[in-house]
């Protein structure tokens, strides 16, 4: 039996994608091989990676002066690659500053890792209220090497309601879009670099997508390892070394599925419906609530806490909820260990029926406590 999987990542994939991958497992596209067995230099694989890039370009309306790279190392490696390729200096030289907007735990990690190569300046943040809102974003400071934001904050469940003020591209806007890529339309031309680990909205873990404006390629610090240089990957069409072939293939199938569904605009409409359903129920609930301020609520990750005041009792209730939900086929609803409570991640592949099933479960659970 398939469950409704609310995991924050790796997360649910569309069933038709899994079924197609299963059907093609031992013989992909008449090649007589699994995609896992193919040479990454073969014509068969070249067709796969080219199709995947073309679909991503079409769906995200990526302008021609941007390159698409399929890399490894997760979104976390981009926390190092961005500074190494845009702003690193020799040891002993004074570091360049880079703006970071600290809207969550991943944003904080990005700044901490960046600090090895640049001087991160937290130009705004929301740590004061446990990241439950998105702060007013200051205009870019012309001295900063780049301006880093996390568009959707997976752990705390916030999303930027609009992009930071103009002033770019003088200071490139860099965004971690791991948990929101393709969830709603995004104006790629506003950004210098976009990056996303695949395991939330794109495919299996192990593939990272980087979308980078061409003029930002070619500035890596000379001692940057080859595998961490955007210019090397761009020059070789993401085939400098063996890429995550199977992950790229599945990503391609997910993108085909999304296009058949009607593309990003249709997806965004469905995502808004799902989120609205869940938030409006939470706002009416006497037992649960959303800790996130309304204008900043994520469409993809929806944490909720119980209203029980006593800490011990609250913890027991939340544990019981997660356990009973799993027994009812609603899995991976535990909140992040740093936030507690529950979290429903409702990425593109989560059907509205899954959200409806969760709400029915929560209603029953609440009634049994009344």
Ligand X SMILES: *Cc1c(COP(=O)(O)O)cnc(C)c1O
Q: What is the CA 357 to chain-centroid distance, rounded? A: 24
150 scored as a contact of ligand X (CB under 6 A): yes
CA dihedral (53, 54, 58, 63) positive or negative: positive
| Distances, alpha carbon 130 to alpha carbons 2, 104, 176, 263, in Å | 35, 8, 19, 34
- Contact call for residues 358 and 34 (beta carbons, < 8 A): no
Which is closer to ligand X, CB of 106 or CB of 321?
A: 106
Catalytic residue among 106, 108, 144, 281: 106
176 scored as a contact of ligand X (CB under 6 A): yes
Residue 106 catalytic?
Answer: yes
Strands of the 342-345 sheet, one edge to the other: 288-289, 301-306, 342-345
97 scored as a contact of ligand X (CB under 6 A): no
What is residue 113's DSSP assignment? H
Contact residue for ligand X among 13, 59, 74, 100 (CB under 6 A): 74
**Beta strand 158-159 pairing with 152-153:** antiparallel
Catalytic residue among 95, 108, 160, 200: 200
Which listed range, 156-164, 173-181, 209-217, 254-262, lies at the site for ligand X (CB under 6 A)? Answer: 173-181
- Contact call for residues 299 and 277 (beta carbons, < 8 A): no
Mark 178-217 with x for binding to ligand X (rule: CB under 6 A) and - for no binding.
xx-----------------x--x-----------------
In whole angstroms, give the CA distance from residue 200 to residue 251. 11
| Distances, alpha carbon 264 to alpha carbons 284, 312, 333, 351, 369, in Å | 30, 43, 26, 15, 40
Least distance to ligand X from the beta carbon of 252, Å? Answer: 19
Which listed range, 14-22, 27-35, 72-80, 83-91, lies at the site for ligand X (CB under 6 A)? Answer: 72-80
Which listed range, 11-19, 54-62, 73-81, 161-169, lies at the site for ligand X (CB under 6 A)? Answer: 73-81
Which is closer to ligand X, CB of 34 or CB of 76?
A: 76
Residues 6+ apart with CB under 8 A from 95: 89, 117, 118, 119
80 scored as a contact of ligand X (CB under 6 A): no
Least distance to ligand X from the beta carbon of 154, Å? Answer: 3
In whole angstroms, give the CA distance from residue 139 to residue 87. 20
285 scored as a contact of ligand X (CB under 6 A): no
Residue 176 catalytic?
Answer: yes
Number of H helices, E strands in the chain: 9, 14
75 scored as a contact of ligand X (CB under 6 A): yes
Which listed range, 88-96, 171-179, 237-245, 306-314, lies at the site for ligand X (CB under 6 A)? Answer: 171-179
Which listed range, 68-76, 211-219, 220-228, 272-280, lies at the site for ligand X (CB under 6 A)? Answer: 68-76
7 scored as a contact of ligand X (CB under 6 A): no
**Beta strand 342-345 pairing with 301-306:** antiparallel
Catalytic residues: 106, 176, 200
**Which spans of this chain sit near ligand X (rule: CB under 6 A)?**
9, 74-76, 106, 150, 154, 176, 178-179, 197, 200
């Amino acid at each position: 039996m398939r469950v409704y999987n609310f995991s924050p990542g790796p997360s649910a994939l569309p069933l038709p994608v899994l079924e197609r991958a299963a059907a093609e497992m031992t013989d992909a596209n008449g090649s007589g091989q699994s995609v896992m067995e193919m040479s990454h230099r073969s014509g068969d694989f070249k067709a796969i990676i080219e199709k995947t890039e073309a679909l991503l370009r079409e769906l995200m309306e990526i302008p021609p002066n941007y390159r698409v790279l399929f890399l490894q190392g997760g979104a976390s490696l981009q926390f190092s690659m961005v500074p190494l390729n845009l702003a690193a200096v020799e040891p002993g030289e004074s570091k360049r500053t880079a703006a970071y907007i600290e809207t969550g735990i991943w944003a904080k990690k990005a700044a901490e890792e960046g600090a090895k190569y640049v001087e991160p300046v937290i130009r705004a943040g929301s740590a004061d209220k446990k990241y439950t809102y998105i702060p007013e974003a200051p205009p870019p400071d012309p001295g900063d090497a780049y301006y880093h934001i996390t568009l959707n904050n997976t752990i705390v469940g916030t999303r930027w309601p609009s992009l930071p003020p103009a002033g770019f591209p003088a200071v490139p806007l860099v965004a971690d879009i791991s948990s929101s890529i393709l969830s709603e339309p995004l104006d790629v031309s506003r950004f210098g670099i976009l990056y996303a680990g695949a395991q939330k909205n794109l495919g299996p873990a192990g593939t990272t997508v980087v979308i980078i404006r061409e003029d930002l390629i070619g500035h890596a610090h000379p001692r940057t390892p080859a595998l961490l240089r955007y210019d090397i990957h761009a020059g070789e069409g993401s085939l400098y070394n063996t890429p995550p072939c199977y992950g790229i293939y599945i990503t391609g199938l997910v993108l085909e599925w999304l296009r058949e569904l009607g593309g990003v605009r249709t997806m965004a409409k469905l995502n808004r419906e799902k989120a609205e359903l869940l938030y409006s129920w939470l706002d009416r609930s006497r037992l649960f609530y959303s800790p996130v301020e309304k204008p900043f609520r994520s469409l993809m990750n929806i944490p909720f806490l119980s209203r029980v005041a006593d800490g011990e009792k609250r913890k027991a209730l939340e544990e019981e909820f997660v356990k009973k939900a799993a027994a009812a086929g609603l899995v991976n609803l535990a909140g992040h260990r740093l936030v507690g409570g529950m979290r429903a991640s409702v990425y593109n592949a989560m059907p509205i029926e899954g959200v409806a099933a969760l709400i029915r479960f929560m209603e029953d659970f609440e009634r049994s406590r009344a």
